[in-house]
Amino acid sequence: MALPTRDALTFPDSQRQPIVPYLPSSSPSSSKPFVTLTFATSLDSNLSLSPGVQTALSGPESKAMTHYLRSEHQSILVGVGTAIADNPSLNCRLEGVGGYGGEGLSGQPAPIVVDPRARWDVQRSKCMKLAREKRGRAPWLVTSTPVPHETAHTLETLNGGFLHLGESPIDWRVLLRHLGMQGFRSVMIEGGGTVINDLLSPQYFDLVDSVIVTIAPTWLGKGGVQICPHQRTENGVRLPVGRLKDVKWVPLGEDVVLCGRPER
Ligand X SMILES: NC(=O)C1=CN([C@@H]2O[C@H](COP(=O)(O)OP(=O)(O)OC[C@H]3O[C@@H](n4cnc5c(N)ncnc54)[C@H](OP(=O)(O)O)[C@@H]3O)[C@@H](O)[C@H]2O)C=CC1
* Cα dihedral 182→184→188→194 (10° resolution): 20
Output the 3-class SS for 102-157. Answer: ECCCCCCCEEEEECCCCCCCHHHCHHHHHHHCCCCCCCEEEECCCCCHHHHHHHHH
> CA angle at residue 224 from 59 to 209, to 5 degrees?
65
Which is closer to ligand X, CB of 52 or CB of 223?
52
Per CB under 6 A, the list member of 71, 75, 82, 108 interacting with ligand LIKH6CAM is: 82
Name the one range near ligand X by CB under 6 A: 25-33, 110-118, 177-185, 228-236.
110-118
> Amino acid identity, residue 1?
M
Q: Interface with ligand X includes 40 (CB under 6 A)?
A: yes
From ligand LIKH6CAM, ligand X, none, interface partner of 66 (C-beta below 5 to 8 A by class): ligand LIKH6CAM
Question: Cβ of residue 154: shortest distance to ligand LIKH6CAM, in angstroms?
Answer: 20
104 upstream amide cis, omega within 30 of 0: no
Of positions 88, 99, 139, 193, contacts ligand LIKH6CAM by CB under 6 A = 88
- Please name which of 248, 258, 250 lies closest in space to residue 14, comparing C-alpha atoms: 250
Contact positions with ligand X (CB under 6 A) in 147-176: 168-170
**What residues make contact with ligand LIKH6CAM under the rule CB under 6 A?**
40, 55-58, 66, 78, 82, 86, 88-90, 190-191, 214
